[in-house]
Each structure stands twice: as structure tokens, then as C-alpha cells.
Structure 1
Amino acid sequence: MSYAVVLAPFLVAAIVAAVVAIRRDRRGWAALAIAAAVILVLTVVFDSLMIAADLFRFDDALLVGIRIGLAPLEDLGYALVALLVVAALWRLLPRRLLPGRRTEPEASRG
């Protein structure tokens, strides 16, 4: 079984969760896009360093074949899944379960 086949259901589920959670919020999508860009760049940089240091290897027969730096394309999918799931949970969980979230804007507090 290839890495892409293992990744696909997780990626689809994470995308669905993010779409349900963020829906029509343009600011939410913009924030998610910025976070995705940062996470993907960091993943490429640090995965390339770890692969160059020979900390781990991928079976080339199980890869799609596209690499960005030394990181295979599939490896970026796992970082994207994590980002989408965290963003969806942040939006979907009740505010009382997330102690860092404010229930009202800072400016309206007395």
C-alpha cells in the first residue's frame, strides 16, 4: 500500500471537517491559508534536513515520486491534515473546553 493511499482518507476527512467548521468565514480561510503556507514551508525545510541527516528514509516504491527539497509530497499531506484537524476542532469545540479562547472581543471588556 502506497503512502498516498494511506494518506488519502485522512486528508479527505480533514478537508471535510475544515469546510464544515469554517464554512463562509473569509477571515478563517485566510488565516488557514497563511498557517498552511507556514506549516508547509517548515515541513519542507525540516524534513529535508532530517532526510539529509539520514534520520529516516522512505521506500521509493511507495512514493508518488514528487519531492519538494528532499521531502516527498506525501509527507506534506500529514502536516496539512494536522493543521486542518486542529483548525476544525478549534472552531467546533465549545468555548468552555478551550480555556485560551475568549467569548467576547477584548475591546468590549470593561
Structure 2
Amino acid sequence: MTPEEADIMEGDSNTPDVACYRYTSERDTVLLQMEKMDDEVVGTLSYNYFEKDNNNGTFEGKMIGDTLFANYTFGSEETISVRELMFIKKGNNIVEGFGEVEDVNREMN
């Protein structure tokens, strides 16, 4: 299974929408937890890839339709960075989007 095919689990509709995303392979793990109130979303995200620097951080953003747009603030090798995130919800799966980025004052846009 790829990160793009990992399952998403949703919480009770009477409370803030909570979703968890987990991808694991033999040596890699990605964990995402998010809480949605109306269109506002906050959460945590960790990338732990074999033989690469781990990234652990938080994000804040908005859901527009089935797409999450957020800024991810994370630490890696004692450096704090910010980059844009985009995830698209497809049924019970969530897919991370990738595109070209530009480094502007340590923020990847």
C-alpha cells in the first residue's frame, strides 16, 4: 500500500470531525491526525522515512470541498521550517498532493 492509498477514519459528527491517517511500509511511517471545525483544520503530521531526516510538526489550514490546504510547521535536524500541504480526500482514502515549491524566508510556498 502506498501513502496515497492509506485509510482515513472519521469521528462522531456531534463533535469536531477527527480524522487519522497512517501509512506504514517495511521501513517508513507517516502519521497524520486532524481536527476539523467548519472549514478550519488543525493537526499533527509526522514523516519517518528510512535513512532520511524525520519531520514532525503541526499544521493549520482550511478544507475547500474535499481538499485540505494548510501550512505545516515542522522540525527536522534542529531546524524549524514551514511548507504548504495539500491533501485530497477520495472516499475513505487521503492523497497528498505535490507540486513545485519556492523557498521564501524558510517557508516553502
Same fold (TM over 0.5): no
TM-score range, shorter chain: under 0.3
Larger Rg, first or second structure (1 or 2): 1
Could you tell me the TM-score, scaled by structure 2's length? 0.24
TM-score of the superposed pair, with normalisation by structure 1 = 0.24
